[in-house]
Amino acid sequence: MFFGEYSYKVDEKGRVPLPPKFRRELKEGVILAKGMGEKCIAIYSIAEWKRLSDSLAAKAVTPANLRKLNRAIFGSAFSASFDGQGRITLPYSLREHAGIADTAIVVGANNRIELWSEDQWKPEKTSAEEQASQIIESFGV
């Protein structure tokens, strides 16, 4: 489980560190993908990416729709591993998608990590906080 919010500088080569407590759970490497419907980069453990892949394959969708979904999700994904200083390289296309330039906001989001630009994160965080209690109430909690 990943949680917390952190701010890190992105270096000139597009590398960003992740918090040490996150790295411990990601020793085998990570998968970087576009946030689904959001302007962020989603980071998955290898095991979580496999669960996502298996879950999508098991859904009852037409073959044409499954091909489109696979292209959208897997076609823009990248594998990455940590360098000796605990950094991962963010591919340019994903940085561009998320609008990340010199600073990345690293957000623990339960089963994945999200990287946001400061400009995109501020309104998203505000919106999420405003809607969280309503969403929880809809669960009957």
- pLDDT at 59 (0 to 100): 80
Q: Is the four-CA dihedral 76, 80, 124, 9 of positive or negative sign? A: negative
Tell me the pLDDT tens digit for each residue of 58-76: 887 788 888 888 899 999 9
CB atoms within 10 A of CB 101: 12
- pLDDT at 31 (0 to 100): 98
CATH code assigned at 49: 3.40.1550.20
Tell me the pLDDT tens digit for each residue of 99-139: 999 999 999 999 999 999 999 999 999 999 889 888 888 88
Average pLDDT, the chain: 93
- pLDDT at 17 (0 to 100): 97
Tell me the pLDDT tens digit for each residue of 2-45: 999 999 999 999 999 999 999 988 989 999 999 988 999 999 99
- pLDDT at 135 (0 to 100): 87
- pLDDT at 49 (0 to 100): 96
User: Count of domains in the chain?
Assistant: 1
**Per-residue exposure over 55-79, b if at least 16 CB sit within 10 Å of its own CB, e if not:** eeeeeeeeeeeeeeeeeebeeebee
- pLDDT at 114 (0 to 100): 98
Domain that holds residue 15: 5-138
